[in-house]
Structure 1
Amino acid sequence: MIQRIQTVYLLIAALLIGLLFLLPFAEIAKDGAIYMFNFKGIVLDGTLKENGTSISILIGIIIALQGVAIASFKNRARQMRLTVFAILLMLGLLGMFFFFTFYSFSGANVSLKISVLFPVVAIILDYLAIRAIGKDEALIRSIDRIR
């Protein structure tokens, strides 16, 4: 299972998305208060200002999709479909990051953290995994033609 390069790509992508549960996404400074934006939502001094349950659920779904894609190494077509769907969900996650950050607090000073780039890196890794899955599928088809 881990011996294929696409599995390594998918595993690293899943770990990067999993790190989103641990790291903050942004700091928002408005009216002298500094809000922290993480998977729970936008928080000020331990009190929740904007609920981030939708982000938490989306991150969980993406991790589950990555896990199922890793486990589907024998069914390359399913693995490819799950990976494409995970990419679409990660694009939605990026959209939610920017919506929560910039539209919840208009006119605020926003300081994005490095963890905002994790979905972008995971999208690139998923794309590389799709290419590797396609190469495996082409290799299998060429071997079937020889027989």
Structure 2
Amino acid sequence: MIQRIQTLYMFIAAVLIGSLFGLPFAEIVANNELFLFNIKGISQNGELVNNGLPIMLFIGLILLLHVVAIFLYKKRVTQMRVLTFTIILLLGLFGMFYFFTYYDFKGADISFKLSVVFPLIAIVMDYLAIRNIGKDEALIRSVNRIR
């Protein structure tokens, strides 16, 4: 399990997604007021303006799927399907970031933080893991044909 490169890719993706729980996503300046967008939602001076529960649950689900995929190392086809579903969810997470930042704040000055790129890096890591899992599966099938 640990000696496989795809496990390392999935672990890196899980760490990146898990770090989203503690890092801010963006700072929004609207009407000369500063808003902070993080996992809890959009807040101003510590007061919650928009609840971030949907994003928190979404990120939690993606993190859980990464951990499940790591432990599905004996079921390679299922592991690839879980990772493909995770990629789709990560793309949906980008949509949620866009919705939360631009829905209530028309014409606002938005500065995204580095943590917004983490889902994109996780998508690349998941894709690399799927490719390597596919190579393992092809190798196992070719060995089974020789017998």
* Distance in 2 of aligned mates of 1:92 and 1:28: 21
Aligned-residue offset at 1:32: 1.3
* Distance in 2 of aligned mates of 1:65 and 1:50: 26
Q: Deviations over 1:27-69 (max 9, x none)?
A: 0001111100001110101110011100000000000000000
Q: Percent identity?
A: 59
* Distance in 2 of aligned mates of 1:50 and 1:107: 18
Q: What is the RMSD of the two structures over their aligned residues, measured on CA atoms?
A: 0.6
Q: Which runs of 5+ in 1 are unaligned?
A: none
- What are the residue-to-residue correspondences of 1:47-58 with 2, within 5 Å? 47-58=47-58
SS at match of 1:115: helix
* Distance in 2 of aligned mates of 1:85 and 1:3: 24
Aligned-residue offset at 1:15: 0.4
Q: Which runs of 5+ in 2 are unaligned?
A: none
Equivalent position of 1:129 in the other structure: 129
Equivalent position of 1:44 in the other structure: 44
SS at match of 2:23: coil
**Number of residue equivalences:** 147
The runs of at least 4 aligned residues of structure 1 exceeding 3 Å deviation read: none
- What are the residue-to-residue correspondences of 1:10-89 with 2, within 5 Å? 10-89=10-89
